[in-house]
Amino acid sequence: MSPGSPLLLPNGAYVFQKLQDFLRAQYPQFGYKEVITPTIYKKSLWEKSGHWDNYAEDMFSVQGRGATGQTENAQAGEDEEFGLKPMNCPGHCLLFWGEGELKSYRDLPVRYADFSALHRNEISGSLTGLTRVRRFHQDDAHIFCRPDQILSEIEQTLKFVGMVYDTFNLGPYKLLLSTRPEEHYIGTLEEWNRAEEQLTTALNNSGREWAINEGDGAFYGPKIDIILKDATGKEHQTATIQLDFQLPQRFDLQYQASPEELEAGAVSAGDKNIDPSCRRPVIVHRAIYGSLERFMALLIEHYNGSFPFWLSPRPAVVVTLNQKPELLEYAARVQSVLAGVLDPSHSNNAQTSADFKPTPRQLSAIHLPIDVDSSARQLGKKLREAHNKKYNHIIVIGAEEAKSQTVRLNIKNQPNDGAVREVITEVLGRPLTEEDELKGTISVGMTIEEARRYFLALVERFL
């Protein structure tokens, strides 16, 4: 129905949103501000940016309602041609120029981040699962900076990449410097050489090994690509850092120059339209994940479905020994407390309960998708299913747990169990005993409130 456009079920959407939330939580310390931009722009914008001449075959063209000739008395603009955006840089250039007054050199760098959907007209034969699609989302960002800020911004972005990939325990990854294409590029050789020198310096300062990928740069500038391997050894590009001197000229982006910049001399001889008191910013295009869909695919293979707790769509399941009403009621309470629901008594039927009175949740509230299996099946079958579904924790409750208001956590599919042991010890205030680790599996009893604190600690530590 829509080749190359993934549909995500609730569990996939949960992981997708967690990936977005994780980056959003990091943006303040790196100085990014999130923006929202349109999906389509006029053809004239893509001509201005150079995409229509250099990238048109990879774009989807969209016609206004009057362009087909089937609409009489078409209003202004209805016969125009549009393009679905394959990237966000032209839109972010409009934001930089359209925010208001001319920016000062003191205002730079300006960093815009954008999760908007992108569309690229990939060849149908190249479409592959989540790794090669036509509609996708990118943690796309653009840094507008002064020339003397380029090196520090690229180095900071490389640190950002390293922090994120270390958190997901991804690697080792390759760094490639992709240089000027032989054809279909904009700008002068001097500008390209200058840009490639800046990226080379940043790579040398990173302390990581890197290699040159001749001729594979973007049409507007060279780039650093981060390459990860999947489970079969196939390489995939994920993160990218690109340097661009071209779009600032094409969109006539300027900022009020510093006294030092003015003293240093005139602007480039080929750049005649700029105000003498101003200079052009440089754009650093960057994505940390790259395509979120591709990043998800690599994570699924990397974890083999056993996601770390903070990212898992199946962090825990409560399994009942029987279907006695008092046990089902206790299972609902356990689910509510562990999930972080404010009113446990209405957690299962909040939409239809006549006396349910909703109250606004705090934005910082952490909700966990805790499931319950209260079916009449044999316990062994329920446990096998929970294990096969890769739940991080299986919580079996019976009459004894209901009476003591406790739970027993069986940790089954949790990466980095060494750190998990430390968290349990902190929450319980005691080390794990032999009874807690029978047959090599952690199975520890605690109160519901202690279990909730333990779950929150796993989330806070990205475990």
Active site residue 92: no
- Nearby residues of 277 by Cβ (< 8 Å), 6 or more positions away: 256, 257, 262
Residues 280/253, Cβ–Cβ less than 8 Å:
yes
d(CA 259, CA 16): 46
**Residue 120 is a catalytic residue:** yes
CA pair distance 305, 389, nearest whole angstrom: 8
Q: Confirm whether 285 is a catalytic residue.
A: yes
Residue among 182, 109, 148, 138 nearest 23 (CA): 138
Please tell me whether residue 76 adopts helix, strand or coil conformation: coil
Q: Which of 140, 244, 373, 436 is catalytic?
A: 140
Catalytic residue among 51, 146, 223, 452: 223
CA separation (Å) from 213 to 153, 174, 190?
Answer: 22, 11, 19
| Options 92, 120, 180, 382, the catalytic residue | 120
Rounded to whole angstroms, how far apart are CA atoms 74 and 72?
5
| Lookup: tokens for 291 | 């395509």
Q: Is 223 part of the annotated catalytic residue set?
A: yes
- Give the strand pairing for 235-244 and 282-291: antiparallel
Q: Which of 92, 180, 279, 285 is catalytic?
A: 285
Q: What is the DSSP string of 142-173?
A: EEEE-GGGHHHHHHHHHHHHHHHHHHTT----
* Residue of 85, 89, 92, 139 marked catalytic: 89
Residues near 96 by Cβ (< 8 Å), separated by ≥ 6? Answer: 103, 110, 112, 144, 251, 253, 281
Is 142 an active-site residue?
A: yes
Q: Which of 138, 198, 237, 246 is labelled catalytic?
A: 138
For residue 138, indicate whether it is catalytic: yes
Coil, helix or strand at residue 61: strand
Q: Of 43, 119, 142, 280, which residue is the catalytic one?
A: 142
Chain centroid to Cα 342, Å, comes to: 29
Mark whether 17 is an active-site residue.
no
Separation CA 320–CA 48 (nearest Å): 63
Structure tokens at 301: 């293979």
Q: Which residues are tagged catalytic?
A: 89, 120, 138, 140, 142, 223, 285
